[in-house]
């Protein structure tokens, strides 16, 4: 890893955390919710590809932790997405 790669990964991590915090603040914003969900998919694909495709990382606790966080977060957000859609439908019925 050189300095540029480290800084790029740091900026990506910071950007992801800002997006995720904004989603936590405004959980009903569907666009932000989908973008946040995408960041977890992207992280999962990134770490899986480093382990299984490029073989640049070993399957240790340092890799397992982000894999588990991304996996559980995706699962939780997909479950939460159902409630978000139900809430949007109920608000539309109230307006009509």
pTM summary value: 0.86
Q: Is the pLDDT of residue 92 over 80?
A: no
- Report the chain's mean pLDDT, rounded to a whole number: 93
Per-residue pLDDT, 18: 98
State mean pLDDT over 3-24.
95
Per-residue pLDDT, 93: 77
3-state secondary structure of 21: helix
User: Domain segments of the chain: what residues?
Assistant: 3-95
pLDDT digits (tens, 9 = 90+) for 62-80: 999 999 999 999 999 999 9
Per-residue pLDDT, 96: 67
Three-state secondary structure of the chain: CCHHHHHHHHHHHHHHHHHHHHHHHCCCCHHHHHHHHHHHHHHHHHHHHHHHCCCCCCCCHHHHHHHHHHHHHHHHHHHHHHHHHHHHHHHHHHHC
């Amino acid at each position: 890893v050189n300095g540029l790669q480290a800084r790029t990964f740091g900026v990506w991590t910071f950007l992801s955390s800002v997006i995720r915090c904004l989603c936590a603040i405004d959980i009903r914003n569907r666009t932000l919710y989908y973008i946040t969900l995408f960041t977890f998919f992207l992280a999962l694909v990134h770490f899986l590809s480093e382990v299984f495709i490029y073989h640049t990382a070993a399957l240790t606790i340092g890799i397992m932790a982000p894999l588990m966080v991304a996996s559980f977060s995706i699962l939780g957000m997909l479950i939460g997405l159902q409630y978000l859609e139900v809430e949007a439908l109920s608000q539309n019925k109230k307006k009509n």
